[in-house]
Amino acid sequence: MKKDMPYKTYLAEHEMPTAWYNMKADMTEKPDPMLNPGTKAPLTVDELAGIFSFEMAKQELDAENRFIPIPDEIREFLLMYRPTPLVRAYFLEEALETPARIFYKYEGGNTSGSHKLNTAIAQAYYAKKQGLKGLTTETGAGQWGTALAMACAYLDLDLHVFMVKCSALQKPYRKIVMETYGANVYQSPSTITEAGRAILAADPECSGSLGTAISEAVEFALKDGGYRYCLGSVLDQVLLHQSIIGLETDAALKKLGVVPDIVIGCAGGGSNLGGLIAPFVKDKMAGKTSPRLIAVEPASCPSLTKGEYRYDFCDLSEVTPLAKMYTLGHDFIPAPGHAGGLRYHGMSPILSKLYHDGHMEARSITQKETFDAATFFAKHEGTLPAPESAHAIAIAVEEAKACRESGEAKNIVFGLTGNGTFDLAAYDAYRKGLLD
Which of 141, 230, 314, 400 touches ligand PLP (CB under 6 A)?
141
Q: Closer to ligand PLP at the Cβ: 101 or 359?
A: 359
Residue 234 is classified by DSSP as S
Which of 272, 317, 364, 370 touches ligand PLP (CB under 6 A)?
272
- How many residues touch ligand PLP under the rule CB under 6 A: the total is 20
What string marks each residue from 363 to 392 as x (binds ligand PLP by CB under 6 A) or -? -----------------------x-xx---
Q: Closer to ligand PLP at the Cβ: 114 or 193?
A: 114
Query: Is the separation of the CB atoms in 265 and 115 below 8 Å?
Result: no
Which of 43, 206, 235, 266 touches ligand PLP (CB under 6 A)?
266
269 binds ligand PLP (CB under 6 A): yes
Which of 140, 189, 246, 334 touches ligand PLP (CB under 6 A)?
140
Instruction: Report helix, strand or coil for 43.
Output: coil
Torsion sign across C-alpha atoms 183, 189, 190, 195? positive
144 binds ligand PLP (CB under 6 A): yes
Q: Closer to ligand PLP at the Cβ: 53 or 370?
A: 370
Q: At closest approach, how far in Å is the CB of 118 from ligand PLP?
A: 10
Return the ∠ at Cα 314 (arms to 145 and 225), rounded to 5°: 65
Return the ∠ at Cα 31 (arms to 345 and 399), rounded to 5°: 65
How far apart, in Å, do the first and last CA atoms of the chain sit?
50
Pick out residues in 317-346 that bind ligand PLP (CB under 6 A).
Answer: 341-342
Q: At closest approach, how far in Å is the CB of 268 from ligand PLP?
A: 3
Q: At closest approach, how far in Å is the CB of 315 from ligand PLP?
A: 16
Instruction: Report helix, strand or coil for 87.
Output: strand
Query: Is the separation of the CB atoms in 67 and 244 below 8 Å?
Result: no
Query: Exposure string (b/e) for 42-73, b if CB count within 10 Å is 16 or more?
Result: ebebebbbebbbbbbbbbbbbeeeeebebeee
112 binds ligand PLP (CB under 6 A): no
Interface with ligand PLP by CB under 6 A: which range of 91-99, 126-134, 165-173, 260-268? 260-268
Interface with ligand PLP by CB under 6 A: which range of 162-170, 269-277, 355-363, 403-411? 269-277
Query: Is the separation of the CB atoms in 241 and 69 below 8 Å?
Result: no
146 binds ligand PLP (CB under 6 A): no
Q: At closest approach, how far in Å is the CB of 34 from ligand PLP?
A: 17
Q: At closest approach, how far in Å is the CB of 122 from ligand PLP?
A: 14
Q: Closer to ligand PLP at the Cβ: 204 or 382?
A: 382
* Angstrom distance (rounded) from CA 62 to CA 55: 10
* CA proximity to 354, closest of 325, 396, 311: 325
Interface with ligand PLP by CB under 6 A: which range of 11-19, 122-130, 139-147, 166-174? 139-147
Q: At closest approach, how far in Å is the CB of 239 from ligand PLP?
A: 8
Query: Is the separation of the CB atoms in 113 and 418 below 8 Å?
Result: yes
* Angstrom distance (rounded) from CA 89 to CA 75: 28
- Burial of 398 by CB count in 10 Å (0-12 exposed, 13-18 middle, 19+ buried)? middle
249 binds ligand PLP (CB under 6 A): no
Interface with ligand PLP by CB under 6 A: which range of 141-149, 244-252, 298-306, 427-435? 141-149
Which of 123, 271, 303, 327 touches ligand PLP (CB under 6 A)?
271
Q: Closer to ligand PLP at the Cβ: 196 or 268?
A: 268
Which of 214, 417, 423, 426 touches ligand PLP (CB under 6 A)?
417
3-state per-residue secondary structure call for 139-188: ECCCHHHHHHHHHHHHHCCEEEEEEEHHHHHHCHHHHHHHHHCCCEEEEE
Which of 268, 302, 334, 346 touches ligand PLP (CB under 6 A)?
268
Which of 123, 233, 243, 411 touches ligand PLP (CB under 6 A)?
233
* Angstrom distance (rounded) from CA 43 to CA 22: 19
Cis peptide before 99 (omega within 30 of 0): no
Name the residues that contact ligand PLP, by CB under 6 A. 114, 140-141, 143-144, 233, 266-272, 341-342, 386, 388-389, 417-418
